[in-house]
Amino acid sequence: MVFSSSIFVFLFLPLVLLFYFLVPKKFKNYVLLIFSIIFYIFGGPKYLVLLLCVVLIDYIGAILIEKTNKRKLFLFITIFLNIGILVYFKYTGFFLNNINSLFNLDINVPKIVLPIGISFYTFQAMSYVIDVYRKKVSLQKNFFTLLLYVSLFPQLVAGPIVRYETIEKELKSRSTSFDDVCYGIERFVLGLAKKIIIANQMGRLADTIFASNNLTSPIAFLGGLAYMFQIYFDFSAYSDMAIGMGRIFGFRFLENFNFPYVSKSITEFWRRWHISLSTWFRDYVYIPLGGNRKGVKRQIINMFIVWTLTGFWHGAEWNFILWGVYYFLFLVLEKYVLKKYLDKMPNVASHIYTLIIVYIGWIIFRCDNLNDLILYLKSLFSFNITSISLNELSVYIESYWLYFILAFLFQTPLYYKIIDKIDKMKNSKLKSCLNVIHYLGLIFIFIVTIMYLAYSSYNPFIYFRF
């Protein structure tokens, strides 16, 4: 079940809200837990056992870390089991296929279905255990509360990766105000619209172009741009909906995206893109490895490890590893060579530089194998422009121009700046009038989104793969 499906919007979510706000406060966690389990069952009932096993491992592991004097041993065992489960389900095929190719062997490669959300919930569960070890959070003695933390349906299958410390107090006691509900509904509606109206249309165009065997430069460029918008609006939309629903239930999840395409360096881009993942690797891998505390060479090695793992986290394919190393190279270059030049460059120039690097990075990310990547980059940089390709380009633009305009507008903080200015207005009558227009606009956006949802069967979520 995805957030952008009719069954979720019109059946599952209303039922959750109905039961959640009807039951007494002491039962609210159990309502969320039951519906979270039901939500996960829709994605694959047999993998519910795996989710329960992961939570049980971390529940017992945290108790042993807290109650015994062999803290490091039990921390190691718990992390080893978590990573072992993730590696088995996500990377077994990758490793065996590469061993077969490298040594000319014929080892049988089992067909293992990737459980939905495993990359997210294993990282989330591990962060709890590590923070118990570090004494940053208290031991959770109630198994069902810990299970709720890991399985909470708004962020279960595609993040953000919520730290236990972020919602530790809210798991025990929380409240929801009218303003929280209004904010949560707005975030959910905007996220749903970004997904259905922008991401899906960009995805349809990107899939068409990337599947073509005979690309010219203009069409290849358009395909890369469409995918660049698709992946941002697809993933940030999911985070918007998760944050919105979390707020309605009284949880304050941290932001996962902060308009990354306005960045003026790759370093800034990664402070704004998938924030929960980059900070997870920073706090649980980079800093424990020594961070920048052990000299330049060691720091570069640590960065290489983190960015290789970041790429590999996204998928069991070489293109993801290449994508991680690609960003490692530019981050190192910026840190030790380019920073002084970027600081002196006009904002427009540094912004263009960043977008070019990110744009090529998404092509690496999108192409499944090295041959496809080379062919696509050759098409992109061949500067092969024909009258036929220009005609094809005009057809695509005629069909998708509105979605590109919406994408350009909503990848900036313009909308939120306007809303913020309205909130700070001193003229109460004008403010009230504009607020009415704002909420009528949200209703209109929701209606248009539902119309798109009703008439389109194309509705993938990219990050469900990871």
Write out pLDDT tens, residues 187-215.
Answer: 999 999 999 999 999 999 999 999 888 88
Burial of 369 (0-12, 13-18, 19+ CB in 10 A): exposed
Confidence bin at 464 (pLDDT 50/70/90): low
Residue 441 Cα distances to 86, 446, 448, angstroms? 43, 9, 11
Q: Give pLDDT, residue 461.
A: 67
How far is residue 309's CA from residue 323's CA, in Å, rounded to a whole number? 11
Give yes or no: 314 in active site.
Answer: yes
pLDDT at 52: 93
Q: For the chain, give the percent of residues with pLDDT over 70.
A: 98
If DSSP codes are grouped into helix, strand and coil, which group holds residue 114? Answer: coil
Q: How many CB atoms lie within 10 A of CB 21?
A: 13
Bond from prior residue into 413 cis (ω within 30 degrees of 0): no
Locate tokens 């062997």: which residue? Answer: 105
Per the residue annotation, which of 274, 314, 351, 438 is the catalytic one?
A: 314
Q: Is the pLDDT of residue 352 over 90?
A: yes
Q: What proportion of the chain, given as a percentage, has pLDDT over 90?
A: 66
pLDDT at 149 over 70: yes
* Mean pLDDT computed over 116-138: 93
What is the structure's pLDDT at 76?
95
What is the per-residue pLDDT across 407-440, written as a single tens digit (0 to 9) for each?
999 999 998 888 888 888 877 888 889 888 989 9
**Would you place residue 298 in the very low, low, confident or very high pLDDT band (cuts 50, 70, 90)?**
very high
In the chain, what is the straight-line distance between the N-terminal and C-terminal CA atoms, in Å? Answer: 16
Rounded to the nearest angstrom, the gap between the alpha carbon of residue 58 and the centroid of all alpha carbons in its chain is 23
Per-residue pLDDT averaged across 336-351, rounded?
88
305 has pLDDT over 80: yes
309 pLDDT tier (thresholds 50, 70, 90): very high
When the pLDDT of each residue in the chain is averaged and rounded to a whole number, the result is: 91
pLDDT value at position 156?
A: 83
- Strands annotated E in 18-112: none
C-beta neighbour count of 386 within 10 angstroms: 11
Give the residue-averaged pLDDT of 140-160.
90
Per-residue pLDDT for 157 more than 80? Answer: no
Residue-wise pLDDT for 230-252, tens only, equals: 999 999 999 999 999 999 999 99
pLDDT tens figures, 14-25: 999 999 999 999
Q: Is the pLDDT of residue 318 over 80?
A: yes
